[in-house]
Amino acid sequence: MRFRYLLPNFRIAIVGAGAIGLYYGGKLAHFGRDVHFLLRTDYEAVRKRGLRILSKTENIHIARVNIARSTEKIGPCDLVIVAVKTISNADLPPLLAPLLGEQTMILTLQNGLGNEEFLAQNFGAERILGGICFICLNRTEPGVIERFDYGRLTIGEFHGYPHPRLHDIAWEFKRCGIVCRVTADLALERWRKLVWNIPFNGLSVVAGVDTAAILADEGLSQLALELMGETIAIANACGHNLPTAIALEQIKQTRTMGDFKPSTLVDYLAGRPLEIEPIWGEPLRRGQAKGIEAPQLAKLYRKLTALDRAGRK
């Protein structure tokens, strides 16, 4: 399959209208790109009041937004951005099918491991791109996204080195005010984010606190460092070279976030199912397959699984 270069008017579908999908789709739409959102819960709010993105440096209001309740209403697109929670992956094959043309690309912005593999199995590896979002966002009310701190997007090919299409997409993101870079090693970047996600998303739920409280507590901050160390060890055993210094770098970055509530804590407090397997379960299993001891990760995985099951009941 050969993909043509993208133009500023290429057609984009956003599947997953949480904080990530609404933010990146909203930025693209604000700068005039042809963006179509699949909306269900927020449909009426966005139809009446539009989409708003708030932060210390921006106050964006998109009054007229292309929204639909079904992907059939949207139709084939050049690029599909997947931002649904991973617990909904089983719904994606029939959901994405109406959006796909011969040259449609699929960019997943989901957390954890295994998402590109799932999409490749169902739609073909040549279509699949992955993105890692390092950004502090919350959906504070229907159609309203608040950005609390720095943000950057890293995108890569599922297989092989970056093709021209990837640089084309990155350039469009940059033109729309999104800090974006291309990586030649998508898997490495996924592990880099897990070094943060595993401790801070996990501990925020089991302890019921935000990132600032984790860092302020001697026991929790030490546990966060231990979890980071275990994650780095597993990544290296799996062939992804991450230096141990990345843990302290990410701790330093986290201090700038203030009292930020990670997305898993937001989901837990709202009574929603948690993304346990791709963020904690799969890294743990890959470590075990390589003979890596990760006692703190195993304990955290068990606690989160128990809390998630109790919440579902």
User: Which residue out of 85, 174, 193, 313 is catalytically annotated?
Assistant: 193
Asked if residue 3 is part of any domain, the answer here is no
* Structural domains counted in the chain: 2
DSSP symbol at 33: -
**CA-CA distance, 132 to 237, in Å (whole number)?**
21
Same domain as 192, residue 180: no
Contacts of 154 (CB under 8 A, 6+ apart): 131, 132, 134, 180, 181, 182, 183, 189
From 130, 152, 184, the end of a domain falls on 184
243 is written with which tokens?
């230096």
Q: Would you give per-residue pLDDT tens digits along the chain (313 residues)?
A: 555 555 556 899 999 989 999 999 999 999 999 999 999 889 999 999 999 999 888 899 999 999 999 999 999 999 999 999 999 999 999 999 999 999 999 999 999 999 999 999 999 999 999 999 998 888 989 999 999 876 899 999 998 889 999 999 999 999 999 999 999 999 999 999 999 999 999 999 999 999 999 999 999 999 999 999 999 999 999 999 999 999 999 999 999 888 899 999 999 998 999 999 999 999 999 999 999 999 999 999 999 999 999 876 6
pLDDT of residue 6: 54
Does 299 participate in catalysis according to the annotation?
no
Same domain as 253, residue 169: no
Inter-residue contact 47 to 67 (CB < 8 Å) = yes
**CA-CA distance, 9 to 290, in Å (whole number)?**
46
From 131, 157, 184, the end of a domain falls on 184
Same domain as 81, residue 221: no
DSSP 79-136: EEEE-S-GGGGGGHHHHHGGGEEEEEEEEE---SSSHHHHHHHHH-GGGEEEEEEEEE
pLDDT of residue 10: 87
**CA-CA distance, 137 to 18, in Å (whole number)?**
10
pLDDT of residue 58: 87
Same domain as 176, residue 257: no
Same domain as 219, residue 154: no
pLDDT of residue 56: 86
CATH of residue 238's domain is 1.10.1040.10
CATH of residue 144's domain is 3.40.50.720
Same domain as 199, residue 278: yes
**CA-CA distance, 87 to 77, in Å (whole number)?**
24
Helices (H), 142-241: 164-175, 186-207, 211-216, 218-237
**CA-CA distance, 24 to 161, in Å (whole number)?**
24
